[in-house]
């Protein structure tokens, strides 16, 4: 792919929001499966700022799962390799261009412990990153949503399609992403614009109905038919429906042979008014990682799989953005039928 000058400009703009400065040591982390234009753009933008970038390129690792692994945010590219961890920990800034990203990678706490900060550049066509370019004022609505979520005791989610879900928030870990970070020891991702809670064990009960047009991001697919999940004690105990959508979900859940794959990972809602629900229609699957659809304004995001707060660890993962939901915190609506108030 030919690199566009405006893409270098936008990378430089986002890195400036991350506080990258002249002379700063910056790592560009990638792997052999990475889209080649992303680390190139990162390098050129860092050089334009006057930073001192260097590349770490990791070879692909052997497959370690019975089925394809997608959308986990937990890249295994480093594989515990100590010299790589040390090199990243010694940087001021890390441009993460791995395929899955290091957001939930086991090495991340050690990398950040020394004060490094990083940005996962989602594995997307640069045009997607351009449309979802973060702005300095994106931080405020995410922080406001985080404050409301931290102060709440319960989230209730409902929809005309039949969703009726209650999530206890006591003991939950709250996070938010606005597409950049300048704070030492922190990590973010681009595109951003969402707020999340990782509930404690035994916090989620009810029914989740994925309606037509809702999204299974692990499969990069809009649902053609409704799928109903009955959730008890955090786990999807039944996946109801006689469609291909339901059958493939049941098959992927079962392939892990692990009860944790059926459990809730995180819940939250999208705040990015520039992100689009329909964006996957315009890109081949190889050009779209789907981060934009996690963040589009007013979606309710339900995800299954690993949840460190609840003590569950698995590579099985679904990201499921739903439209048309009403999200209430202690009875007060923060999303109304899929729209931000």
Kindly report, residue by residue over 16-34, the tens digit of the pLDDT.
999 999 999 999 999 999 9
User: How confident is the prediction for the chain on average, in pLDDT?
Assistant: 95
What confidence tens digit (pLDDT) does each residue in 134-154 have?
999 999 999 999 999 999 999
What's the chain's length in residues? 341
What confidence tens digit (pLDDT) does each residue in 88-98 have?
999 999 999 99
Copy the structure tokens of residue 93. 């800034």
Domain membership of residue 226 (yes or no) is: yes
* CATH at 90: 3.40.50
The structure tokens 């922190």 sit at 186
Work out the percent of the chain whose per-residue pLDDT is above 90.
91
* 68 has pLDDT over 90: no
Residue 78 sits in the same domain as residue 162:
no
Residue 197 sits in the same domain as residue 104:
no
* 71 has pLDDT over 80: no
Q: What is the model's pLDDT at position 314?
A: 87
Whole-angstrom distance, CA of residue 324 vs CA of residue 215: 12
Integer angstrom CA distances of residue 31 from 55, 58, 79: 10, 4, 12
Domain membership of residue 49 (yes or no) is: yes
Residue 237 sits in the same domain as residue 285:
yes
Selection from 23, 59, 27, 20 nearest residue 43 by Cα: 27
* 75 has pLDDT over 90: no
Contact 26, 20 (CB under 8 A): yes
Using CA of residue 93, residue 99, residue 104, residue 105, what is the dihedral sign?
Answer: negative
Total Cβ atoms within 10 A of residue 182: 14
Kindly report the backbone phi and psi dihedral angles of residue 69, in degrees, each rounded to the nearest multiple of 5, phi listed first: -110, 125
DSSP conformational letter for 71: S
Contact 289, 218 (CB under 8 A): no
Q: What is the model's pLDDT at position 62?
A: 85
Selection from 55, 143, 62 nearest residue 97 by Cα: 55
Residue 117 sits in the same domain as residue 142:
no
Residue 15 sits in the same domain as residue 43:
yes
Q: What is the model's pLDDT at position 74?
A: 83
Domain membership of residue 131 (yes or no) is: no
Tell me which residue range forms the domain holding 57.
5-121
What confidence tens digit (pLDDT) does each residue in 228-247 have?
999 999 999 999 999 999 99
Task: Read off the pLDDT band of 276 (50, 70, 90).
Answer: very high
Total Cβ atoms within 10 A of residue 277: 20
DSSP conformational letter for 62: P
Residue 169 sits in the same domain as residue 241:
yes
Q: What is the model's pLDDT at position 123?
A: 96
* 11 has pLDDT over 90: yes
Number of domains present in the structure of the chain: 2
Residue 78 sits in the same domain as residue 104:
yes
Residue 19 sits in the same domain as residue 166:
no
> Which has more pLDDT, 62 or 13?
13
Whole-angstrom distance, CA of residue 217 vs CA of residue 209: 15
Q: What element of type H or E holds 97? A: none
């Amino acid at each position: 792919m030919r690199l566009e000058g405006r893409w270098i400009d936008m990378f430089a703009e986002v890195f400036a929001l991350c506080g990258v400065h002249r002379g700063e040591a910056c790592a560009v982390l990638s792997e052999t499966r990475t889209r080649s234009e992303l680390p190139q753009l990162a390098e050129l933008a860092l050089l334009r700022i006057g930073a001192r970038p260097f590349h770490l390129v990791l070879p692909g690792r052997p497959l370690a799962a019975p089925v394809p692994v997608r959308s986990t945010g937990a890249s295994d590219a480093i594989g515990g390799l100590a010299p790589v961890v040390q090199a990243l920990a010694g940087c001021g800034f890390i441009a993460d261009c791995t395929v899955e990203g290091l957001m939930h990678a086991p090495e991340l706490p050690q990398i950040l412990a020394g004060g490094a900060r990083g940005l996962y550049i989602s594995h997307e066509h640069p045009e997607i990153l351009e449309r979802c370019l973060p702005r300095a004022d994106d931080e405020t609505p995410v922080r406001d949503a985080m404050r409301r979520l931290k102060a709440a005791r319960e989230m209730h989610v409902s929809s005309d399609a039949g969703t009726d879900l209650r999530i206890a928030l006591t003991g939950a870990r709250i996070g938010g992403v606005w597409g950049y970070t300048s704070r030492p020891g922190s990590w973010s991702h681009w595109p951003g614009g969402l707020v999340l809670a990782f509930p404690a064990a035994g916090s989620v009960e009810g029914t989740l109905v994925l309606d037509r047009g809702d999204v299974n991001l692990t499969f990069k697919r809009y649902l053609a038919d409704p799928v109903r999940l009955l959730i008890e004690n955090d786990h999807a105990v039944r996946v109801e429906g006689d469609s291909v959508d339901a059958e493939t979900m049941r098959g992927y859940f079962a392939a892990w042979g692990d009860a944790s794959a059926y459990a809730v990972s995180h819940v939250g809602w999208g705040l990015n008014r520039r992100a689009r629900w329909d964006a996957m229609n315009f890109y081949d699957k190889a050009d779209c990682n789907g981060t934009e659809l996690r963040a589009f304004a007013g979606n309710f995001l339900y995800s299954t799989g690993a949840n460190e707060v609840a003590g569950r660890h698995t590579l099985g993962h679904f990201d499921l953005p739903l439209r048309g939901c009403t999200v209430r915190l202690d009875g007060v609506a923060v999303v109304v039928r899929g729209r931000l108030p």
